[in-house]
């Protein structure tokens, strides 16, 4: 599967590249996704070692469009969106309504929602209202009563999902409202104390945040590339914190790696495994300066996929510098984010 990216927006180097004891780097400090500190080591191939690199030469190929290569060997820790709920508020009508959102929300949907808010400058409430109507989320729900406050982190993606949650809860009979609170260190205590009742969360990031909070900064990771196992760990950790959870959605906001469409077409690649099979030399990797030392960036690509790089170009994390380097033919492969509003389904 490939996803086309038309442009870019700056983000913190969040997913699988920073400690989850903080929600993001100081440069942004707001968006939540998974981490590599203390996380499980990248998986090897089924034979117990990384596959051999290909023999072809794969120098950068300039192009106006970028495509995301599928992480088919599951290098990255999962970071699917999941509703986090104050345990005392997790009634059947409330959980049923939130699960209805999770059942339809996809990564492509997330990309489209982010594009409308971040790129097209529409408001989160208006975009959420359109999405609820389009997906029929207000139909067939009942049984709710009382006020529910849906908290949100201070970035557009989370705010839009919070608005979708609130509209769906309204349809179930609740009197729902939204409140943007701040980063995880601020909104999570509000959630556990019941000052807000629901927050859209990220499976891998929250698992490791709670893990380190409960077991210490050096605790072995409980989040991984296995969604079911990570949700099981999250549920167990959440119980100690007074939290319950709905179903995880298919929608995820995590690290991804892109090439130009021209490069993908020339080498007939749509996955990172296909890239490794096709390319034995010439690859130039672009990303944030930390990438060569982070297990879910360059070392993970080398160990899990057997990729070999001619060089690394230190730029930014999924932002305009990395995207420009790819489009201008100065890099073959670059770090992007799976829910970036500049991406389009493809």
Structure confidence by residue, pLDDT tens digits, 169-220 = 999 999 999 999 989 999 999 999 999 999 999 999 999 999 999 999 999 9
d(CA 261, CA 264): 5
Tell me: do 178 and 315 sit in the same domain: no
Share of the chain above pLDDT 90, in %: 75
CATH number of the domain to which 182 belongs: 3.10.105.10
Same domain? 88 vs 223: yes
For position 9, what pLDDT does the model report?
A: 38
Q: Give the chain's domain count.
A: 2
Q: What are phi and psi of 173, to 5 degrees?
A: 110, 0
pLDDT band at 14 (very low <50, low <70, confident <90, very high): very low
Q: In this structure, are 134 and 167 located in the same domain?
A: yes
Residue 32 and residue 163 in one domain:
no
Residue 51 CA to residue 271 CA, distance in Å, equals 14
Taking the model in full, what pTM does it have? 0.83
Residues 133 and 197 in one domain: yes
CATH number at residue 47: 3.40.190.120
Query: Domain boundary residue among 180, 210, 245?
Result: 245
Helical packing angle, 227-241 and 203-215, nearest 10°: 50
Same domain, 116 and 62: no
User: Residue 341: what pLDDT?
Assistant: 81
277 and 238 fall within a common domain: no
Q: For position 120, what pLDDT does the model report? A: 95
Over residues 137-153, the pLDDT tens digits come to 999 999 999 999 999 99
Q: Are residues 8 and 125 in the same domain?
A: no
Clarify whether residues 205 and 85 are in a common domain: yes
Give the chain's mean pLDDT.
87
- 2-5 sheet: strands from edge to edge: 311-314, 284-287, 333-337, 255-260, 66-69, 2-5, 343-344
- Tell which of 245, 280, 296 closes a domain: 245
Same domain, 270 and 231: no
Confidence of residue 346 (pLDDT cuts 50, 70, 90): low
Per-residue pLDDT band for 317 (boundaries 50, 70, 90) equals confident
Place of tokens 């191939």: 45
Residues 120 and 241 in one domain: yes
**What is the mean predicted confidence (pLDDT) over 11-21?**
38
24-73: per-residue pLDDT in tens?
Answer: 333 333 344 544 444 444 544 444 455 555 667 999 999 988 888 999 99
Instruction: Express each pLDDT in 251-281 by its tens digit.
Output: 999 989 999 999 999 999 999 999 999 999 9
Domain stop point among 217, 245, 273: 245
Residue 314 has what pLDDT? 97
Domain extent at residue 172? 81-245
∠ CA 258-346-10, rounded to 5°: 45
Where does the pLDDT of residue 320 fall: very low under 50, low under 70, confident under 90, or very high at 90 and above?
confident
Q: What is the pLDDT of residue 272?
A: 98
Task: Check whether residue 9 and residue 86 sit in a common domain.
Answer: no
**Closest alpha carbon to 3 in 256, 291, 309:** 256
Nearest Cα neighbor of 199 from 166, 250, 152 is 152
């Amino acid at each position: 599967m490939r996803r086309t990216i038309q442009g870019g927006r700056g983000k913190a180097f969040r997913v699988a590249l920073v400690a989850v004891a903080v929600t993001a780097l100081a440069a942004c400090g707001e968006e939540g996704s998974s981490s590599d500190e203390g996380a499980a080591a990248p998986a090897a191939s089924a034979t117990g070692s990384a596959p051999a690199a290909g023999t072809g030469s794969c120098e950068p190929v300039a192009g106006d469009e970028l495509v995301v290569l599928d992480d088919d060997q599951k290098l990255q820790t999962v970071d699917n969106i999941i509703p986090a709920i104050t345990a005392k508020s997790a009634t059947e009508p409330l959980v049923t309504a939130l699960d209805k959102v999770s059942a339809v929300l996809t990564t492509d949907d997330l990309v489209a929602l982010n594009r409308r808010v971040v790129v097209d400058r529409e408001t989160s409430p208006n975009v959420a209202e359109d999405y609820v109507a389009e997906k029929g989320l207000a139909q067939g729900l009942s049984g709710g009563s009382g006020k529910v406050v849906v908290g949100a982190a201070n970035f557009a993606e989370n705010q839009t999902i919070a608005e979708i949650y609130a509209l769906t809860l309204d349809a179930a009979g609740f009197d729902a409202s939204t409140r943007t609170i701040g980063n995880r260190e601020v909104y999570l205590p509000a959630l556990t104390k019941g000052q807000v009742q629901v927050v859209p969360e990220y499976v891998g990031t929250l698992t490791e945040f709670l893990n380190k909070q409960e077991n210490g900064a050096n605790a072995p990771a409980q989040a991984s590339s296995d969604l079911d196992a990570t949700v099981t760990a999250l549920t167990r950790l959440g119980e100690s914190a007074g939290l319950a959870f709905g179903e995880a959605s298919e929608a995820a906001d995590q690290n991804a790696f892109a090439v130009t469409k021209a490069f993908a077409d020339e080498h007939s690649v749509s996955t990172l495994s296909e890239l490794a099979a096709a390319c034995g030399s010439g690859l130039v990797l672009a990303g944030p300066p930390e990438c060569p030392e982070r297990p879910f960036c360059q070392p993970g690509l080398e160990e899990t996929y057997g990729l070999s790089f001619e060089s690394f170009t230190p730029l930014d994390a999924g932002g305009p510098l990395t995207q420009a380097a790819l489009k201008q033919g100065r890099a073959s492969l670059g770090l992007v984010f799976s829910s970036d509003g500049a991406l389009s389904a493809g």
